[in-house]
Amino acid sequence: MNPGLPLASLLLVSAAIADPSVKVTTAHSATDAGFKGEGVLPPAMNDAGAKAFFRVISGAANEVCGVLPVVQDGKPPGSEDDPDRNFFFAIGEKGGRLSADLHGPIAVKNVATYSWHAGPRAPQIYKLYGTDGSAANFNAEPAADIDPATVGWKLIASVDTHDKGAGQHAVSIGTEGGEPLGTFSRLLFDIQANDESNGQGNTFFSEIDIIDAKGPALQHYEHKVETFTSKDGKFKYILDSSEAPDLADWAKKNLMPVMEEWYPKIIAMLPVEGYTPPDTINFTLKLATTLPGHAQGVPAFASGKNVTLNANFMRDQAGGEAVGCAIHEIVHVVQFGNPGGSTRGQRPPTWVTEGVADYIRWFLYEPQAKGAEITKRNFASSNYDSSYRVTANFYDYVIKNHEKDLMRKLNLATHAGYTPELWKDWTGKTAEELDAAWKAANKLRLGIE
């Protein structure tokens, strides 16, 4: 992203506008200008469009494009050909219709649309309609052959930027005097594809913003990265909160100090001769919609020295599971974070290493949460290799009854090579024998016949 460049052109379109006071402002840049331009604000993260319910009501979405929420997150695509970060209709479709349910009537001040492509998918051609849904014959989802104006919708503006060609297009629809466009409970975008003989002329929509006249001050995507250095200067924790600036303060106060305290502790718990875990961890708060592969339900994951935290999960669980979840991930950074490390043998099955991460989390970091209990409900389905919290509970049993040094030994096996026979070496019992004893103890404790 290269913000701050002036846009190549700014144009006021006055033709084909339904209401004379409506003003359509368009801006275009042949290169990446961060969608900035006079009269057009860059994409917003907290506009009414971010909370609206968008639906395709006519035409088919392209299968490889980002899910529809990519037009709501305020985050520009990473490049001029970034299908994951844009919404567009399928090849061969001559456009289509999108509706945005605003969850009740609001005074809409502006509607802004942003698109970016290196080729014919950049320009925007569409008609914008609004409705309060009050017409007697109102149709919320008019099919392609029905003129919305005949079923309770009001034409607000027509947009056509096709003469500008490839690059970034930003369109802002407002009024001359700055007063609202009207009070609407839904908007409808009747989108036309660019004329392209191979059928690939559907616009790459990067963002659609709907500005509520009474909404909060708009927040725009900004690169926000802070580095926290440990007091002894040994470790760096880098926090990227660009996609969730609202979580930056929480992370600074509640998350980073815990990481600073626990990362060296976990390293000390899991020493491996000849292997040094990374001295830097990158934490990135990511919007669910920008997680790789649209893995929206995943709370967090680690890859090397990078920990990705799902911003939605962190926000929902700020006072609950958020920090413990990050503890689990930094155990993985200690385990595998240094790719030049000393891993020589067979990597253990994932239940082994996930169990270690959850043991450290649930039994050492937050034992009071009792998050890894075996209960009457989960007893029957719990085996030593069930992974995560169940395996953590099994480890707790083995540590209390057979081998206090289990965490260090398991981690050593992560590097030097794991075999199931190790359980016998460490405890005198096979994993299956330990499993049977652990289950018997749980059965007795829970009073299960």
Q: Which is nearer to Zn ion, 333 or 357 (CB)?
A: 357
State in angstroms the smallest separation of the CB of 388 from Zn ion: 7
Helix or strand run (H / E) with residue 269: helix 256-269
Q: DSSP 3-state helix, strand, coil percentages of the chain (rounded to 5)?
A: 30, 25, 45
Q: Which is nearer to Zn ion, 173 or 357 (CB)?
A: 357
State in angstroms the smallest separation of the CB of 335 from Zn ion: 9
State in angstroms the smallest separation of the CB of 397 from Zn ion: 21
Closest CA to 319 of 359, 366, 354, 284: 366
Q: Which is nearer to Zn ion, 138 or 351 (CB)?
A: 351
* DSSP-derived pairing of the beta strands 9-13 and 22-29: antiparallel
Closest CA to 184 of 127, 103, 113, 130: 130
Contact (CB, 8 A) for 95 and 202: yes
State in angstroms the smallest separation of the CB of 321 from Zn ion: 14
Q: Which is nearer to Zn ion, 73 or 354 (CB)?
A: 354
DSSP structure string for 110-126: EEEEEEEESSTT---EE
State in angstroms the smallest separation of the CB of 414 from Zn ion: 13
Distance of CA 126 to the CA centre of its chain: 28
Return all residues near 448 (Cβ < 8 A) that are at least 6 apart.
376, 379, 442
State in angstroms the smallest separation of the CB of 314 from Zn ion: 16
β-pair partners for 348: none
State in angstroms the smallest separation of the CB of 336 from Zn ion: 10
DSSP structure string for 412-440: HHHHH---TTHHHHHHSS-HHHHHHHHHH
Q: Which is nearer to Zn ion, 237 or 336 (CB)?
A: 336
Residues that bind Zn ion (CB under 5 A): 354, 357
Dihedral of the CA atoms 264, 269, 275, 281 (nearest 10)? -30
Q: Which is nearer to Zn ion, 155 or 357 (CB)?
A: 357
DSSP H stretches of helix in 337-381: 350-359
Q: Which is nearer to Zn ion, 205 or 313 (CB)?
A: 313
